[in-house]
């Protein structure tokens, strides 16, 4: 495997380092050819743009990126983020993961990612709109409903998606609602998109619980992170009869082994700006939450939260990764040794892109589904994906993350073969 990579002649600066390094063992097990390795090792298209924006008569230059990693299975799909530390190599890694995520749940999208190097907290709404529109003008020829479809990501929301939609339609001089997902309902969005990441994860969690013969009533859940995904997850779990015993945000966490009143907790967070101080709950740190006595642990915040130092102390029976990359590779093996089922992010939080896929379909067809139909299709897609990953995991006695990656890679390469590229 490593010898093959020594002979790759593609631009080293454009390599997806995640693809080449962290997945090397998987590539070796799949016995990939050099041609297959090359296809998986670099994005198909990397765009970096520099564009001026005038604020109150003063011009500032901004840098934006958009990476299309692979589109063999369909138009590429991926979020746009605004962040001061955005770097193109990290964007490339994220685009690759999006390609894998779409392939794992078997929807006809490839993977992309993009964004602007900017601190949105330093700009007002009007300035942020100017930056967004200028960025879209710079990359507008490279996106489109059958090319590359953006979505919300870090520090972007449905307002930013509206600016993208409007600017793109101004460029094309026609309505193109399917160019972007995560829009408001009034402009072609779907309600389920707002909580599809959380609900999709809960659908696969319940499949995992069936395998382990764990019932819902009284199952104790700890949720790390109380942003959109974590808050929605806690709310849905509470409604379905789980006992949410702990939750945390960036300021710290709270715990009550008898269970938290999640609707009241959401109100408390909105009023106070933090979870701590909630009546009847004890304050804990984020680190303590990860190790608390619970049945299900839901990391829904930052990356690299579970590692070799704390993995041996985790008490949960199931870990549901709603955050991106919350577990370091060495912790995966420790969880397997301890018979803890870890549902990897590439499967667990794929409900978001599935929701985006449904929005895109409805925009393309100008045919809007009833909410029950959306939720039924989301459940079917997510549970089918879980079944496929779990079956391969059992067959090969591997961790679920490796099984998910293998399924995704095989599907991407098969599409490339059908197109005659291999």
pLDDT of residue 333: 86
pLDDT of residue 21: 62
Instruction: Identify whether 113 is a catalytic site residue.
Output: yes
Query: What's the average pLDDT block by block, 10 residues per block, for the chain (422 residues)?
Result: 39 52 82 92 94 95 97 97 93 92 98 96 96 98 98 93 98 98 95 92 98 95 95 97 96 96 97 93 96 97 91 97 90 91 96 97 94 95 98 92 95 98 95
pLDDT of residue 72: 97
Right CATH for 196-348 from 3.40.190.150, 3.40.50.720, 3.40.50.300, 1.20.1250.20: 3.40.50.720
Same fold, 43-177 and 196-348: yes
- pTM of the full structure: 0.91
Using the Cα atoms of residue 195, residue 200, residue 205 and residue 207 in order, give the sign of their dihedral.
Answer: positive
pLDDT of residue 130: 98
DSSP-derived letter for residue 369 is P
H/E element, 33: none
Q: Rounded distance, CA 340 to CA 238, Å?
A: 23
Q: Report the DSSP beta bridge partners of residue 116.
A: 64, 82
Q: Rounded distance, CA 115 to CA 100, Å?
A: 20
pLDDT of residue 41: 87
For the beta carbon of residue 285, count every other beta carbon within 10 angstroms: 11
Domain boundaries, the chain: 1-40, 43-177, 196-348
pLDDT of residue 5: 39
CA-closest candidate to residue 319, choices 391, 199, 400:
400
Give whole-number Cα distances, 135 to 142, 154, 346, 367, 388, in Å. Answer: 12, 16, 28, 30, 39
Specify the CATH number of the domain 43-177. 3.40.50.10860
CA-closest candidate to residue 263, choices 240, 285, 231, 286:
231
pLDDT of residue 16: 55
Q: Rounded distance, CA 20 to CA 41, Å?
A: 6
Q: Rounded distance, CA 392 to CA 404, Å?
A: 8
Give whole-number Cα distances, 417 to 36, 45, 167, 414, in Å. Answer: 10, 19, 37, 5
From the candidates 68, 77, 113, 317, which is the catalytic residue? 113
pLDDT of residue 18: 60
Distance of CA 25 to the CA centre of its chain: 23
The pLDDT tens digits of the residues spanning 108-129 come to 999 999 999 999 999 999 999 9
């Amino acid at each position: 495997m490593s010898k093959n990579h020594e002979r790759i002649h593609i631009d080293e600066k454009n390599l997806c380092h995640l693809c080449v390094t962290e997945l090397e063992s998987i590539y070796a097990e799949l016995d990939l050819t050099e041609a297959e390795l090359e296809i998986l090792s670099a994005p198909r298209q990397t765009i970096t743009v520099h564009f001026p924006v005038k604020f109150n008569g003063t011009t500032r230059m901004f840098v934006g990126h958009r990476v299309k990693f692979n589109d063999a299975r369909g138009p590429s799909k991926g979020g746009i983020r605004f962040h001061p530390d955005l770097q193109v190599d990290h964007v490339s890694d994220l685009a690759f993961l999006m390609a894998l995520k779409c392939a794992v749940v078997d929807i006809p999208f490839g993977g992309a990612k993009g964004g602007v190097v900017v601190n949105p907290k330093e700009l007002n709404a009007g300035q942020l709109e100017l930056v967004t529109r200028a960025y879209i003008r710079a990359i507008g020829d490279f996106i489109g409903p059958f090319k590359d479809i953006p979505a919300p990501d870090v520090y972007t929301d449905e307002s930013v998606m509206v600016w993208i939609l409007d600017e793109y339609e101004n460029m094309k001089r026609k309505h193109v609602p399917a160019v972007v997902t995560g829009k408001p309902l009034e402009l072609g969005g779907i309600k389920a998109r707002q909580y599809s990441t959380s609900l999709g994860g809960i659908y696969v969690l319940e499949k995992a619980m069936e395998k382990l013969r764990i019932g819902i009533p009284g199952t104790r859940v700890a949720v790390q992170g109380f942003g959109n995904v974590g808050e929605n997850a806690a709310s849905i779990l509470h409604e379905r009869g789980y006992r949410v015993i702990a939750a945390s945000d960036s300021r710290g966490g709270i715990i009550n082994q008898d269970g938290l009143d999640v609707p009241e907790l959401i109100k408390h967070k909105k009023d106070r700006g933090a979870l701590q101080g909630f009546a009847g709950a004890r304050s804990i740190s984020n680190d303590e939450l990860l190790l608390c006595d619970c049945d299900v642990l839901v990391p829904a915040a930052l990356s690299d939260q579970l590692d070799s130092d704390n993995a041996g102390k985790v008490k949960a029976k199931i870990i549901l990764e709603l955050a991106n990359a919350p577990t370091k590779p060495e912790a995966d093996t420790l969880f397997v040794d301890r018979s803890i089922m870890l549902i990897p992010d590439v499967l667990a939080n794929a409900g978001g892109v599935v929701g985006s896929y449904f929005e895109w379909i409805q925009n393309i067809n100008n045919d809007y589904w009833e909410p029950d139909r959306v939720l039924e299709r989301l459940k079917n897609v997510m549970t089918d994906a879980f079944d496929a990953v779990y079956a391969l995991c059992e067959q090969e006695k591997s961790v679920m993350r490796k099984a998910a990656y293998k399924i995704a890679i095989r599907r991407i390469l098969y599409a490339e073969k059908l197109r005659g590229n291999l």
